[in-house]
Each structure stands twice: as C-alpha cells, then as structure tokens.
Amino acid sequence: MLAKRIIPCLDVKDGRVVKGVKFVDLKDTGDPVELASFYDKAGADELVFLDITASYEGRKTMIDVARRTAQEIFIPFIVGGGIGTIDQIRDVLKAGADKISLNTPAVEHPELITEGAKIFGSQCMVVAIDACWNEKMGEWEVYTHGGRKATGISALEWVTRVEKLGAGEILLTSMDADGGKIGYDISLTLAVGERTNLPVIASGGAGSLEHFAEVLTEGKADAALAASVFHYRQFSVQEVKKYLQEQGVEVRLS
C-alpha cells in the first residue's frame, strides 16, 4: 500500500501567501519561499503553490517564486495558476517545479492536457478541479477562474474525461467546504475516486486531525491538502502524521 501524503497548500496572491473562506476574504499569512522551507523541514510530503488570481487576472504564474523555492526545498512541489501554454508549462518545470496544475486552461483547452502529457509525461500533469454542489443539476459542478465562473460541467464526467486526456493526478477542491474547517467533502471525494484510477488529492475543509483520517479512509483519497490549519499552527504536519499512524493509516514519518 502506498503511503498517504500530507500536502500543505500555499495560495499566492501578489507574491504573498493568503488564505480565505470559500475563495474570498483573503488574509496574508506569509512569504511563500519561507513557508515552503518551513514545511519541507516539518516533514510535508509535497507542497502545492497556487497563484489563485492568475487565470482571473490574465497574468502568468510566478516563475521567480518557483525558482527560489526549488533552491530551498527537497520535496516535490506543484505550481498552478495562469499556466495556459506548453511554453509556460516548460518554464515552470525548468524553474524547478515537479508538476504543474491546470484548472481554467484545462477546461478551455483540454488538448493542453494531452500535449503536456506527451511532452513532459503524465506524472507532471495535475488537473485541478474546483467543484460545488449544484442543486438543479443534482451533482457537483466544475468552476473555473479561481472559483468565480460556473461551467455547467459535471465534475464526475470531467474527471473521467481528463484521465482519458492524459492527466496524471487530480487536485480536488470542494468549494462548499473550503476554509470552513468543518471537514473535507467525503461524498465528493469518494465519488471522484470511484470514477478514476488517478491519485486524488483532497482539498477544502480540514479543521481537525479526525478530518484528515476521514478523507484518507472513508473518502479514499490518496493525499490530503490543507492550508490554514498549518499556516496558523493549529497543528503541525508531524502531529497529523502521528495521529494518522495511530489510526492505522500508512504515512511517511521523518
């Protein structure tokens, strides 16, 4: 059995790490490179950098942050936000990122997933899915542009499609749970996991140690991502891992 991964997420806006609730009311939580170094030493398995307004504002992603981070840490990291061309994917990977995350560009130009997988390998291509329950649709709907734009696309159908297109991993964020600290959306995570053979990183809603165990067992996620509980030192990565180990969940302890 593969060890479950614990992944701090650094949402970056204007070169600073921020955290909000349901993608709004953002508060500054620190310098991205300093936080990345801290989490590397703290035993995180991976890191995710998301330039959360890059697609919305039409800006390129933060190449400089990626380059400086690669010089400071030894764990894999994913960069997403504003990456919309093969050249931009290449630039981010050359800067030191191990994987790139596509959200808005993947929906608007699905062929980018396939082309990127062919050139750089599927393992580099993470598709980020921001999903929100749509009562009228009776299912979860995909949102783009930093959670600002509803697409009318079924999240479960989209997961099936991106796997066929060549994605190597899914970064799944529940917009309903994001920032609320009431727990991950187990129903969404499990439903997505049952639709795909790809590893699923669950995001949105971590507020207690129990929440991590729930999403990795009941939700069958391969990794659990969190932000505010780590940024505000509610508990450490090692505390999460030790708790998970006590619950019989396979993790890597440093």
- Taking only the tens place, the pLDDT of each residue in 61-108 is 578 889 999 999 999 999 998 899 999 999 999 999 999 999 999 999
Q: Which residue among 11, 45, 51, 178 is the active-site one?
A: 11
**pLDDT score at 212:** 98
130 as an active site residue: the answer is yes
d(CA 172, CA 193): 10
Question: What's the confidence (pLDDT) of residue 23?
Answer: 47
Exposure string (b/e) for 41-77, b if CB count within 10 Å is 16 or more? ebbbbbbbbbbbbbbbeeeebbbebbbbbbeebebbb
Residue range 107-123: mean pLDDT, rounded: 98
> pLDDT tier at 2 (50, 70, 90 boundaries)?
confident
CB contact at 8 A, 113 and 162: yes
pLDDT band at 11 (very low <50, low <70, confident <90, very high): confident
- State which fold the 5-246 domain adopts: TIM Barrel (3.20.20)
Kindly report which listed range (41-55, 164-178, 220-234) carries the lowest average pLDDT score: 41-55
Please write the tens of the pLDDT for every residue from 232-248. 899 999 999 999 999 99
Residue 194 burial (C-beta neighbours within 10 Å; 0-12, 13-18, 19+): exposed
pTM of the model: 0.92
Judged against a pLDDT cut of 60, whether residue 153 lies above it is answered with yes
Q: What is the pLDDT of residues 180-223, one digit of tens each?
A: 788 999 999 999 999 999 999 999 999 999 999 999 999 999 99
Q: Is 141 helix (H, G, I), strand (E, B) or coil?
A: strand
Judge whether 11 counts as a catalytic residue. yes
Q: Which of 13-17, 164-168, 213-217 has the lowest mean pLDDT?
A: 13-17
What is residue 60's predicted lDDT score, i.e. its pLDDT?
A: 58
Domain ranges of the chain: 5-246
- Mean of per-residue pLDDT scores for the chain: 91
Q: Give the position of tokens 């999403």.
A: 215
**Which of 45, 130, 178, 185 is labelled catalytic?**
130
